[in-house]
Amino acid sequence: MRIIVVGQGPFGEKVLDALIQRGEKVVGVFCPPDKRGEPPAGVAGKSGISLVRPTHMKNPEVHDAFVHLQPDLVIEAFVTDIFPEKLLTIPSIGTICYHPSLLPRHRGASGINWAIIMGDTRTGLTIFWVEKGIDTGPILLQKELEIGPEDTTGSLYFNKLFPMGVEAMLEAVDLIKKGKAPRIVQDESKATYEPPCDDRVAAIDFEKPVQEVYNLVRGCDPQPGAFTFFRGKKVRLYDTRMGAANVERPAGEVTAIEENGVEVASRGGALKIGKLRLEKGEKVGPVEFARSVDMKLGDQFRI
C-alpha cells in the first residue's frame, strides 16, 4: 500500500517515523516550508522519501506530485492548511485524518481547548475519513480518555492524546490493510463546532463563576494563554489551580501573594495562579511578577 503523509511538527514526525519503522511503503511526505515542517522533513530526508514543502496544499505542484506518486492512502498527521477537495479523489483508498476530540463533538481547529473550556470530563481522539466538510467525514476509529481536574490543553495533548494518536494511526492503517476499516457516519444531531481558541475567546472575566474561569485558563494553557489586565498591561495566566472556596472579595482582587501562587478572587471562590507573563515578557513566578509590577494585596486584575 502506497502511503503519502501530510503533516507538521513533532506529531507529524512521530507518525511518519512510526510508519517507516513498521516497514510501511511511504512514497511521499508533504509539510510546510517553515519551521513547522522541519521535524517530518528531517525524517523524510534521512529515509530517502520524496519530499515536497509547498506554501499551500492548493498549489498546482501538490496536485501534480500526488498524481505522480499514485498513493493508495493519504494520512493527515496534523494539517492546519486547507486541504483541496480535488486531492481527495487521487488516493485509491482514501484520506484519513487525526482529530483530537470525540467527533462529532468539538469539530474545528481547537478541539482540545474547547473540551476543557466547556467543562467536559471525558474526551479522546478520532481517526476519520476526510471529505469536503470540516471534520465531518465517516469515523474509522475512536479512543476515549478522562480529562483530569488539573489537566491543561498542554498536558492533555502531550501526555495523552499525542502518544495515543500515533498508536491510533498505526491501528487505522492495520485495519485498512486488512479491509476491516469501518466508515461510521457521524451523528449530525450531536455535532458541535467551535472557532479557533485565540485572543477573541481568551479574555478572563473574573465576575463569572470560579469553575468557569478555571476551565478557561486551563483550556488556554499553553496557547494562547488566557489573559487579563493589570494597570493597563495585558497579563497571561498559566499553571493555575483552584484556590480558597467561598471567597467574598471583589472579582479580580488579589487576595494572596505566595511562592506557590497569586490568589485572585472570582465568583464563588479564588484561583491560585502559578505563572504569569506580561505581553512581551517571559513566564515568571508569582513573587517575581508581583515585584516587577509593584502588585500588592487588594489590587485588581480587570478586563
Per-residue pLDDT tens for 104-114?
999 999 999 99
Q: Are residues 243 and 182 in the same domain?
A: no
Q: Please compute, for residue 33, the number of CA atoms within 13 A of its CA located in the half-sphere on the CB side.
A: 7
| CATH number reported for the structural domain that contains residue 62 in this entry | 3.40.50.170
- Is residue 22 assigned to a domain? yes
Residue 179, Cβ density class (10 Å: 0-12 exposed, 13-18 middle, ≥19 buried): exposed
Q: Are residues 113 and 256 in the same domain?
A: no
Q: What is the pTM of this model?
A: 0.96
Q: What is the mean predicted confidence (pLDDT) over 122-146?
A: 97
**Structure confidence by residue, pLDDT tens digits, 16-25:** 999 999 999 9
**Structure confidence by residue, pLDDT tens digits, 36-56:** 999 999 999 999 999 999 999
Q: Are residues 87 and 168 in the same domain?
A: yes
- Is residue 196 assigned to a domain? no
**Structure confidence by residue, pLDDT tens digits, 221-244:** 999 999 999 999 999 999 999 998
Q: Are residues 220 and 186 in the same domain?
A: no
pLDDT at 303: 86
Q: Taking 90 as the threshold, does the pLDDT of residue 295 lie above it?
A: yes
Looking at the structure of the chain, the number of domains it has is 2
Q: Are residues 131 and 267 in the same domain?
A: no
pLDDT at 238: 98
| DSSP letters for 68-109 | HH--SEEEEES--S---GGGGGSSSSEEEEEESS-TTTTBST
Q: Whole-angstrom Cα distance, residue 8 to residue 31?
A: 6
Q: Are residues 118 and 250 in the same domain?
A: no
Q: Whole-angstrom Cα distance, residue 229 to residue 120?
A: 28
Q: Whole-angstrom Cα distance, residue 193 to residue 95?
A: 21
- Is residue 65 assigned to a domain? yes
Question: Which of 123, 157, 190 marks a domain boundary?
Answer: 190
Task: Using DSSP, state whether 188 is helix, strand or coil.
Answer: helix
Q: Are residues 33 and 84 in the same domain?
A: yes
**From residue 125, how far is each of 98, 103, 105, 154, 161 by CA, in Å?**
7, 8, 11, 15, 7
Q: Taking 90 as the threshold, does the pLDDT of residue 280 lie above it?
A: no
Q: Are residues 214 and 144 in the same domain?
A: no
Grid cell at residue 10: 513533532
Q: Whole-angstrom Cα distance, residue 150 to residue 218?
A: 8
Q: Taking 90 as the threshold, does the pLDDT of residue 283 lie above it?
A: yes
- Is residue 199 assigned to a domain? no
Q: Are residues 176 and 36 in the same domain?
A: yes
- Is residue 244 assigned to a domain? yes
| CATH number reported for the structural domain that contains residue 229 in this entry | 3.10.25.10
Grid cell at residue 115: 473540551
pLDDT at 82: 87
Q: Taking 90 as the threshold, does the pLDDT of residue 92 lie above it?
A: yes
Q: Are residues 45 and 153 in the same domain?
A: yes
Cis before 224 (ω within 30): yes
Task: Using DSSP, state whether 183 is helix, strand or coil.
Answer: coil
Q: What domain range includes position 76?
A: 2-190
Q: Are residues 106 and 238 in the same domain?
A: no
Q: Which amino acid is at 272?
A: K
pLDDT at 26: 98
Residue 246 banded pLDDT, cuts 50, 70, 90 = confident
Grid cell at residue 262: 497569586
- Is residue 13 assigned to a domain? yes
The 73-77 sheet, strands edge to edge: 50-52, 25-30, 2-7, 73-77, 94-99, 122-129, 139-146
Helices 9-21 and 38-47 meet at what angle, rounded to 10? 20
